[in-house]
Chains A and B, each alone.
Chain A
Amino acid sequence: MSDTQTLRQWLLSETPTSRRHAKLSALYQGWLSLRANTMAMIGLSILVALVLVAITAPIISPHDPFTQDLSNRLAPLGAEGHLFGTDSLGRDILSRLFYGARITLYIVALVALIAPIAGLLIGTVSGYIGGITDTILMRITDIFLAFPRLVLALAFVAALGAGIENAVLAISLTAWPPYARIARAETLTIRSSDFISAIKLQGAGPIRIITKHIWPLCISSLIVRVTLDMAGIILAAAGLGFLGLGAQPPSPEWGAMISEGRRFILDYWWVATVPGLAIFTVSLAFNLLGDGLRDLLDPKAGE
């Protein structure tokens, strides 16, 4: 029997011998069922490719993304040395796409850190403490939830000034309320369960209960929601970039690239088409993976 098989058996054993064993085993089984979902795996592969491209951008880019070559501007698709042509300043579109992957990942990662953590904090505190705190916090959440997100983000960016970090902040400010609602709902169901009463009897304080016992149980539904929201976050960031409120030139942000190509859409259509396809592919990948994760981690939410 080979090593891998024994490892597999160890992972699939019905009687875990330790906490770590049980955790790894659960993870492995989750991975197995995710692997059976072709669509989710396609999404995951695209995202892995995106990360690889972002990491190796300086190596795999055929040209420098900022070097202008005005004699060779607006070269068509498949032009010599420029697979996706060049933009209005003669910069290689393919190289700019590769570097743009970094910006997309940067935005997504930051929002995915800020918004769910803020939501988790507010939601669990609100749900655990209850009473007047709960009322006030949830009222604030509702107010933010009742807002048109893009318009609010626009107003925030207007106040803070254009730029990637401000765009991230504006998107996060509009993205946290759903997470707070989810975390609160989870907390309310967990709070009254027997094991919480048991650890309370053992003398655990509220901070310990929230951080060690409630948070870990909220994570899975939050992950699903975050993955499903990623597509929306990418689209919002690209929209802000398109309006000139996100990443600033000469940054190769995909939305800004579309905005640049917009002026030439009727004659040089590829300049705007290529970065749009990139945005579409990545947000599609997040949606596919999110659907798969939802089926896996939160079966009741699916149809």
Chain B
Amino acid sequence: MSLNEQHTQRRPIRVPLAEKLWPFLRASVNVFGSVIVTIFGLLLITFIIGRVMPIDPVLSIVGEQASQSSYDAAYLELGLDKPLLVQFFYYLWDVIHLDFGTSLLNARPVTEDIARVFPATLELATIGIFMGMIFGIPLGVLAAVRKGSWIDQIARVVALVGYSMPIFWLGLMGLFLFYGVLGWVGGPGRVGIFYVDIVPSVTGMILIDAMLAGNWDVFKNAFSHIILPASLLGYYSLAYISRMTRSFMLEQLSAEYITTARVKGMSEWDVVWKHAFKNIRVQLITVIALSYAGLLEGSVLTEIIFSWPGIGSYITTALLSADMNAVLGGTVVVGLIFILLNIFSDLLYKVFDPRAK
């Protein structure tokens, strides 16, 4: 496109693939180091949290009435007689082997539990982020194009309310209104009680499992249960995504190449979507990755409200019963995903946006 050539004379339009990948590789190596350090920090902090815990880990295993000898045996087995540094390396070793110990509540390995509950959270957050994107991006673009108009004001209010509303309260209100009063959606939980365990669990995500099994009754029921919590998360990501889209678009729309395109008589649709929007795609993807990470975390309170058996519910339940292995395991997993998504968005930005250098 001739216009683009004018605008970006500094770099050639057609970059060979190898040349495109090279900075990606170089950035990856740099980033790899910082990922390792960050993950190390995460593990160190969770280890310290586990140490300062006022609850005696031995007592919670052997119980109050245990004899001194069984207490000592458990004490030795946990390696609590070793120096802290050695204990930390044990901990590192276990985590590298995906071993977070056993849950005190149900005596199952924490890793197994997390693998079981995680798909529920993933399903919820993924639908949430899609809703946030589908509504948030057009809203942000419109707000930027019609800056100062009523739609800009609405977008502003929508975002402001999203930033200020306690998510658990909004969830309660939604449950009250749409489930209690109107009866439009399913209540708490993933499916109604008559639909539990009908479709075999393949992916752990019930919508996909129902589709695979071809059982549309279960699909419909599961959908009626997920729609409310997912919309809730979607709204929160919408608030962030629409604001960021708006400010990215405003920056582009005030650039000179946009004026040039308009002077040349290009239609407003093409100016907005083919020129301005194309240039914010990378920034948007980084924002979406960050907000996806935020949703995984934001789902903690949502899951409680909707009795959603995801990782947020898991961590909180474990916390209230002082099941420290489960709490730390859950924290490490959420932290790891968070870190990786952060790094991913960072990397993407550095590689594909020449302005970031």
Do B164 and A148 touch across chains, with their CB atoms under 8 A apart?
no
B304 within 8 A of A: yes
Q: Which residue of B lies closest to A243 (CB)?
A: B316
Do A151 and B172 touch across chains, with their CB atoms under 8 A apart?
no
Q: Whole-angstrom distance between the alpha carbons of A3 and B73 in the complex?
A: 83
Residues of A within 8 A of B154 (CB): none
Interface size band for B: 35 or more
Residues of A within 8 A of B240 (CB): none
Q: Please provide the chain A residues from 114 to 172 with a CB less than 8 Å away from any CB of chain B in the complex.
A: 139-140, 142-144, 146-152, 154-161
Q: Whole-angstrom distance between the alpha carbons of A235 and B161 in the complex?
A: 13
B168 within 8 A of A: yes
Do A303 and B247 touch across chains, with their CB atoms under 8 A apart?
yes
B54 within 8 A of A: yes
B175 within 8 A of A: yes
Question: Among A156, A239, A258, which residue has its beta carbon within 8 angstroms of that of B172?
Answer: A258
Do B335 and A151 touch across chains, with their CB atoms under 8 A apart?
yes
Q: Whole-angstrom distance between the alpha carbons of A40 and B273 in the complex?
A: 34
A287 within 8 A of B: yes
Contact code string B318-339 (vs A, CB < 8 Å = 1, else 0): 0110101001101100110011
* CB of B224, distance to nearest CB on chain A (Å): 17
B45 within 8 A of A: yes
Do A143 and B37 touch across chains, with their CB atoms under 8 A apart?
yes
Question: Among A142, A148, A157, A258, which residue has its beta carbon within 8 angstroms of that of B38?
Answer: A142
Contact code string A265-293 (vs B, CB < 8 Å = 1, else 0): 11001001100100110011011100000
The residue among B165, B175, B328 with the most chain A CB atoms within 10 A of its own CB is B165
Q: Which residue of A lies closest to B161 (CB)?
A: A284
Interface size band for A: 35 or more
Residues of A within 8 A of B331 (CB): 151-152, 154-155
Q: A147-B338, A149-B297, A154-B315 are in contact. Are A280 and B165 (CB under 8 A)?
A: yes
Q: Whole-angstrom distance between the alpha carbons of A57 and B63 in the complex?
A: 46
Q: Please provide the chain A residues from 225 to 283 with a CB less than 8 Å away from any CB of chain B in the complex.
A: 231, 235, 238-239, 242-245, 255, 258, 262, 265-266, 269, 272-273, 276, 279-280, 283
Q: What residues make up the interface of A, taking CB atoms closer than 8 Å to B?
A: 139-140, 142-144, 146-152, 154-161, 231, 235, 238-239, 242-245, 255, 258, 262, 265-266, 269, 272-273, 276, 279-280, 283-284, 286-288, 303
Q: What residues make up the interface of B, taking CB atoms closer than 8 Å to A?
A: 34, 37-38, 41-42, 45-46, 49-50, 52-54, 160-161, 163-170, 172-173, 175-176, 180, 246-247, 250, 293, 296-298, 300-301, 304-305, 315-316, 319-320, 322, 324, 327-328, 330-331, 334-335, 338-339, 342
Q: Told that A142-B34, A154-B300, A242-B168 touch, could you supply 10 new A-B pairs with CB distance under 8 A?
A: A143-B41, A147-B45, A148-B335, A150-B300, A154-B316, A158-B327, A231-B163, A243-B301, A243-B319, A283-B165
